[in-house]
A and B are shown apart, each in its own frame.
Chain A
């Protein structure tokens, strides 16, 4: 996180993490498609010929809150292929919030677990304690057969402390909800760490509206909140 108090500028780094092919890049694409072009930069993808992410994807989003705080949100994805472990660690440097994109397919459970502990390990190696950083989990590919059942996911939701979202990223379902959940946690973290609201005169509502008024929320669960 970079905070330039004099310029009232805040830069937040959000990383989409998860096993290979779980849909990290698809999440970013879905957000990109729903964002007002005036507030976002290009979606930069650094990938190989077969659409696997090679280093990362990155999309900057800029917005200004009503009270004049300029926020740039930089959304990144990591490469999911096992061999890029050191790249995943590099991309995680200085991260402010993580969306963990799990693949709902039953045969991907092992990969989900492996990358979850990989995430915790890489956070620690970057000097970030996993308990202190906002993390949400998304179970993607809910449209496929042979996936974890809703009951199973409900069970996980009750067990863990991270908020869990279900998604079909390829159709944009659940993507904005995931980002919304993560931004709520991020604001709470800023409040706690920096006494953000008081110092910059930004309320949670204003912060969230700053981002989400620029997004096409049609058909999403959060539509009502910003209506």
Chain B
């Protein structure tokens, strides 16, 4: 049975309900005020409080006689074991019970009840009832040498009072203890309830976490399937597409006979659109490789001049159509960059393609390549044992920074966070206006991060955009990207 079920049951034992120290203090204040001893027993007869007042000398004297000892023990036993259970068995109907000792002294006992349950009893005494005129014969005859003068003298240490008064005092003490019990019970219930509900909530959370984890696993599996599917489909699409492009090329080159001007134009369009489609498929393949974590880097020492030129030449035809200028600035002194040539080139191409797409006719595009020393913007989670980073402050590092800047439509701050997400478009209408599937930037981000670098964009609506790539300078990048996670 658990705790909560127990709490609907009987209350716990008296010593768990009230603080015994406080109980003793309350009893002491009564005992001292009225000069009468107080004892408290729990329902099993264990003594919780035992305060004696003024009877020690007298009782000691009586106890010194053999018969006195015998009678005294019997009296104590009677008081201790007296039951409050009446014939009806209902302790509520029992009030205070009187016990008279053979010495004529008196004790009063009061049941301690809580919600009809007997928790224990309070005993007040002994006291000298004021209606006791003289020592009882039974006392005087306990031994030959009983000295009634001495006994009477010792009795003066005891409180003499009418029983009615002591009854009231005891009732008063009883109701104070009853209040203590009630508060104790309330605290007991509150804390039991608290623990129970926390436990229940904890179990519910565990359950929910379990279910969440299961569905997360399912989602991960689906995600993996999706990446696989993308890879397979893209691959299957690429094969026929290369044939379409190849045959168009053959037609254009007149390898199978001449064509009219109009026919040539149509075939050229087929080829151009085929190329676009091919680029898209290649991007999807790249993304699916990134997402499945199967991209590997092959770092070499890069010739940045040559790399930039090839990148620009790839994009030039598109730029010329919109009469955009592309200028390249390379810093004279550049640190060595070890990186994967194809990947870095593709990053630049993607950024250029992006710039071309979002820059109006006659706009300007710039590529800047320069050394950069500074702290990372997104310091990797640092730990105390990390040598490269302080816990609270990133260290400056040396990078090569590649910036592609345009004076196009720009991006607002809300979207800056998300433009590197896979398939993200600033708004779905931009897909129609500018084409593209929103893959270019997420590929850039994944590639740069695989090199241990960073990407960010500085931009404002109407004020153009500047995409910056930081590649760590000099260092030999790992030949395998440990984890190029998708940026979605």
Residues of A at under 8 Å CB distance from B?
2, 7-8, 13, 41-42, 44, 46, 55-56, 58, 60, 62, 64, 68, 70, 72, 74, 84, 86-87, 89-90, 93-94
With an 8 A cutoff between CB atoms, is B236 at the interface?
no
Count of chain B residues near A, Cβ 8 A? 23
Task: Report the 9 A-B pairs with minimum CB-CB distance, sorted nearest first.
Answer: A86-B200, A55-B193, A90-B4, A41-B115, A87-B197, A60-B115, A86-B197, A62-B116, A86-B201
Residues of B at under 8 Å CB distance from A?
4-5, 8-9, 88-90, 92, 114-116, 182, 185-186, 189-190, 193-194, 196-197, 200-201, 204
A90-B3 Cα distance, complex, nearest whole Å: 10
A55 and B197 contact, CB distance less than 8 A: yes
Cβ distance B112 to chain A, nearest Cβ, rounded Å: 14
Which residues of chain B are within 8 angstroms of A94 by Cβ–Cβ distance?
A: 5, 8
A64 and B90 contact, CB distance less than 8 A: yes
A46 and B190 contact, CB distance less than 8 A: yes
Residue from B182, B190, B204 in contact with A86 in the complex, judged by beta carbons closer than 8 Å: B204
Cβ distance B85 to chain A, nearest Cβ, rounded Å: 10
Which residues of chain A are within 8 angstroms of B194 by Cβ–Cβ distance?
A: 55
Which residues of chain A are within 8 angstroms of B190 by Cβ–Cβ distance?
A: 46, 55
Which residues of chain B are within 8 angstroms of A42 by Cβ–Cβ distance?
A: 182
A93 and B116 contact, CB distance less than 8 A: no
Cβ distance B7 to chain A, nearest Cβ, rounded Å: 9
A13-B189 contact given A42-B182, A72-B116, CB 8 Å threshold: no
A177-B193 Cα distance, complex, nearest whole Å: 31
A58-B7 Cα distance, complex, nearest whole Å: 12
15 residue pairs of the A-B complex, CB under 8 angstroms, read: A13-B8, A41-B116, A44-B182, A44-B186, A55-B194, A56-B193, A62-B92, A70-B89, A70-B116, A72-B116, A74-B8, A86-B197, A86-B200, A86-B204, A90-B4
Question: Nearest residue in B to A88 (C-beta to C-beta)?
Answer: B197
B200 and A46 contact, CB distance less than 8 A: no
Which residues of chain A are within 8 angstroms of B115 by Cβ–Cβ distance?
A: 41, 60, 62, 72
A89 and B88 contact, CB distance less than 8 A: no
Question: Nearest residue in B to A95 (C-beta to C-beta)?
Answer: B8
Which residues of chain A are within 8 angstroms of B193 by Cβ–Cβ distance?
A: 46, 55-56, 87, 90
Q: What 10 additional pairs, Cβ within 8 angstroms, besides A62-B115, A89-B200?
A: A44-B186, A58-B189, A60-B115, A60-B116, A86-B197, A86-B200, A86-B204, A90-B193, A93-B5, A94-B8
Which residues of chain B are within 8 angstroms of A86 by Cβ–Cβ distance?
A: 197, 200-201, 204
Which residues of chain A are within 8 angstroms of B201 by Cβ–Cβ distance?
A: 86
A225-B200 Cα distance, complex, nearest whole Å: 44
Which residues of chain B are within 8 angstroms of A74 by Cβ–Cβ distance?
A: 8
Question: Nearest residue in B to A83 (C-beta to C-beta)?
Answer: B201
Cβ distance A162 to chain B, nearest Cβ, rounded Å: 24
A220-B177 Cα distance, complex, nearest whole Å: 37
Which residues of chain B are within 8 angstroms of A2 by Cβ–Cβ distance?
A: 9
Which residues of chain A are within 8 angstroms of B200 by Cβ–Cβ distance?
A: 86-87, 89-90
Question: Nearest residue in A to B185 (C-beta to C-beta)?
Answer: A44
A68 and B88 contact, CB distance less than 8 A: yes
Cβ distance A39 to chain B, nearest Cβ, rounded Å: 9
A165-B429 Cα distance, complex, nearest whole Å: 61
Which residues of chain A are within 8 angstroms of B197 by Cβ–Cβ distance?
A: 55, 84, 86-87, 90
A60-B391 Cα distance, complex, nearest whole Å: 59
Cβ distance A119 to chain B, nearest Cβ, rounded Å: 17
Which of A8, A58, A84 is packed against the most chain B CB atoms within 10 Å? Answer: A58
A68-B86 Cα distance, complex, nearest whole Å: 13
A72-B200 Cα distance, complex, nearest whole Å: 28
B89 and A7 contact, CB distance less than 8 A: yes
Question: Nearest residue in A to B93 (C-beta to C-beta)?
Answer: A64
Cβ distance A41 to chain B, nearest Cβ, rounded Å: 5
A2-B9 Cα distance, complex, nearest whole Å: 9
B8 and A55 contact, CB distance less than 8 A: no
Which residues of chain B are within 8 angstroms of A7 by Cβ–Cβ distance?
A: 89
A93-B4 contact given A46-B193, A62-B92, A62-B116, CB 8 Å threshold: yes
Which residues of chain A are within 8 angstroms of B196 by Cβ–Cβ distance?
A: 90
